[in-house]
C-alpha cells in the first residue's frame, strides 16, 4: 500500500501537478499512494448493494468449496495440514479498512482489516453478519510499531521505506530467520479465525517500482519467499492474496487465491492481473485518485471488484453499481 508516496514525492520535487496518465518506466509500487486529486462526492460505507443472508456460514449467496488438502510443500513445521481453505470467486464485493474501529455497516461480501489492530471479536462480529475476513499483515517489511518488532534480527532489516520512516524492507532471502516470525503472525491470524491473509510488500525485489530494499534481491528470491508464505497460510487453512506484485502474477497465480491491487486502472495495468479472473479467482482492486464513474465502466466488463477509497483506508467507500 505504498506507491503513491513515491509518486507524490516525485511530483513535489518536479513541481508537476494535475492529472497523471499511465505510469512511467518506474511503474507501480507496493502500498500506499498519494492523496486523491479530486474530493470524492460521497462519504461513508457503500450501501447500494444489499447482500443475501449467508449460506451456512459462507459468503452471502455463495458456498465455500475447498479444493482439498494443500500439497506436501504447503505443510510446514508448527502447522498441521488443513483440509482446505476459502476459495473466493470473481465479482465478490469488498471493503478495505485499516483504520480502527472498523465500520461494519458496509453491505459487502468481504472485509479486509488489519490483523494487529483488530481482535478475534471483530472478526467474529463480521462473520456473524455473513462477511468473509481478509487480515492484512506486512510480511515484506519491518514495522517498528508492531508488538513483535523486537523479534526481527537486525541482519534482516534493510533500507527505510520511502515515506514511511518506521518501516524497513526485509531480506527475504533469509527465510530461515523469518520463518518463526511469519509462522507466529499467521498463527495469530488463524487463532483470530481470519479467512485469508493479505501479505503486504511482497515485491521487494522490484526496484523499478520502488526504492532498493538494500539487499540484492532477485526475481527468484521473491518467488521463493512468496511461495513460502503462501504455503504457510494454506497449511493453516487460510487463503492468501497476492498484493500487487503484478510482474510475477503468471508465476504465482497457481499458489495464490486472489489479487489485492492498488490503482491498476489509474496506471493502465489491469491486464497484468486479469489472469486471476480468468482462473476463477477475484481481483480486489482499489483506486485512490480516480473516481468511481471513471473506473467502474472499465471494471465491470473485466469482473474486477473495484472500489474508490481514501488513502488512509478509513470507512469511506464507493463501489461500482
Q: What is the pLDDT of residue 98?
A: 98
Q: What is the residue-level pLDDT of the chain in tens, covering all 321 positions?
A: 544 444 343 333 333 333 333 333 333 333 433 333 333 333 343 333 333 333 333 333 333 333 333 333 333 444 554 459 999 999 999 999 999 999 999 999 999 999 999 999 999 999 999 999 999 999 999 999 999 999 999 999 999 999 999 999 999 999 999 999 999 999 999 999 999 999 999 999 999 889 999 999 999 999 999 999 999 999 999 999 999 999 999 999 999 999 999 999 999 999 999 999 999 999 999 999 999 999 999 999 999 999 999 999 999 999 999
Q: In 14-40, which positions are buried (b, 16+ CB within 10 angstroms) versus exposed (e)?
A: eeeeeebeebeeebbbbbbbbebeeee
Q: Is residue 98 part of a domain?
A: yes
Pull the grid cell for residue 77. Answer: 513445521
pTM: 0.77
Q: What is the pLDDT of residue 27?
A: 36
Please give the Cα distance from 6 to 23 (Å, whole number).
12
Please give the Cα distance from 217 to 223 (Å, whole number).
11
* 225 Cβ contact partners less than 8 Å away, ≥ 6 residues apart: 172, 173, 175, 178, 202
Pull the grid cell for residue 204. Answer: 521487494
How many domains does the chain fold into? 1
Q: What is the pLDDT of residue 32?
A: 39
Q: Is residue 159 part of a domain?
A: yes
Q: Is residue 88 part of a domain?
A: yes
Q: What is the pLDDT of residue 169?
A: 98
Instruction: Identify which of 15, 70, 114 has the alpha carbon closest to the alpha carbon of residue 234.
Output: 70
Q: Is residue 131 part of a domain?
A: yes
Q: What is the pLDDT of residue 106?
A: 98
Q: Is residue 65 part of a domain?
A: no
* 154 Cβ contact partners less than 8 Å away, ≥ 6 residues apart: none
**CATH value at residue 89:** 3.20.20.70
Enclosing domain of residue 98 = 3-15+22-60+73-319
Q: What are the φ and ψ backbone dihedral angles of 185, each rounded to 5 degrees?
A: -65, -40
Q: Is residue 66 part of a domain?
A: no
Q: What is the pLDDT of residue 153?
A: 98
Q: What is the pLDDT of residue 274?
A: 98
Instruction: Identify which of 110, 121, 147, 162 has the alpha carbon closest to the alpha carbon of residue 4.
Output: 162
Q: Is residue 67 part of a domain?
A: no
Helices (H), 174-291: 175-191, 219-235, 249-252, 270-278
Q: Is residue 68 part of a domain?
A: no
Query: CB of 217 within 8 A of CB of 172?
Result: yes
Amino acid at each position: 500500500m505504498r506507491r503513491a508516496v513515491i509518486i507524490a514525492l516525485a511530483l513535489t520535487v518536479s513541481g508537476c501537478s494535475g492529472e497523471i496518465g499511465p505510469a512511467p518506466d518506474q511503474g507501480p509500487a507496493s502500498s500506499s499512494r498519494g492523496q486523491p486529486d479530486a474530493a470524492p462526492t460521497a462519504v461513508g460505507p457503500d450501501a447500494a448493494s444489499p447482500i443475501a443472508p449467508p449460506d451456512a456460514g459462507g459468503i452471502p449467496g455463495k458456498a465455500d468449496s475447498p479444493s482439498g488438502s494443500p500439497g506436501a510443500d504447503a505443510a510446514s513445521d508448527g502447522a498441521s495440514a488443513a483440509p482446505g481453505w476459502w476459495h473466493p470467486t470473481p465479482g465478490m464485493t469488498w471493503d478495505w479498512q485499516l483504520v480502527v474501529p472498523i465500520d461494519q455497516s458496509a453491505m459487502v461480501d468481504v472485509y479486509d482489516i488489519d490483523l494487529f489492530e483488530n481482535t478475534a471479536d471483530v472478526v467474529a462480529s463480521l462473520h456473524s453478519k455473513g462477511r468473509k475476513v481478509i487480515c492484512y499483515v506486512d510480511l515484506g517489511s519491518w514495522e517498528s510499531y508492531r508488538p513483535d518488532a523486537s523479534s526481527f534480527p537486525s541482519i534482516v532489516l534493510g533500507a527505510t521505506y520511502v515515506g514511511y520512516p518506521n518501516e524497513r524492507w526485509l531480506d527475504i532471502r533469509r527465510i530461515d530467520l523469518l520463518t518463526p516470525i511469519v509462522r507466529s503472525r499467521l498463527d495469530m491470524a488463524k487463532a483470530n479465525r481470519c479467512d485469508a491473509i493479505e501479505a503486504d510488500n511482497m515485491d521487494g525485489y522490484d526496484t523499478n517500482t520502488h526504492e532498493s530494499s538494500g539487499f540484492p534481491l532477485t526475481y527468484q528470491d521473491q518467488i521463493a519467499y512468496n511461495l513460502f508464505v503462501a504455503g504457510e497460510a494454506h497449511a493453516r487453512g487460510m487463503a492468501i492474496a497476492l498484493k500487487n506484485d503484478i510482474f510475477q502474477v503468471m508465476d504465482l497465480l497457481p499458489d495464490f487465491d486472489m489479487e489485492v491491487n492498488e490503482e491498476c486502472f489509474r496506471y493502465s495495468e489491469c491486464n497484468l492481473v486479469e489472469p486471476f479472473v480468468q482462473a476463477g479467482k477475484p481481483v480486489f482492486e482499489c483506486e485512490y485518485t480516480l473516481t468511481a464513474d471513471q473506473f467502474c465502466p472499465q471494471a465491470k466488463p473485466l469482473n474486477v471488484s473495484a472500489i474508490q477509497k481514501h488513502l488512509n483506508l478509513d470507512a469511506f467507500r464507493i463501489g461500482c453499481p
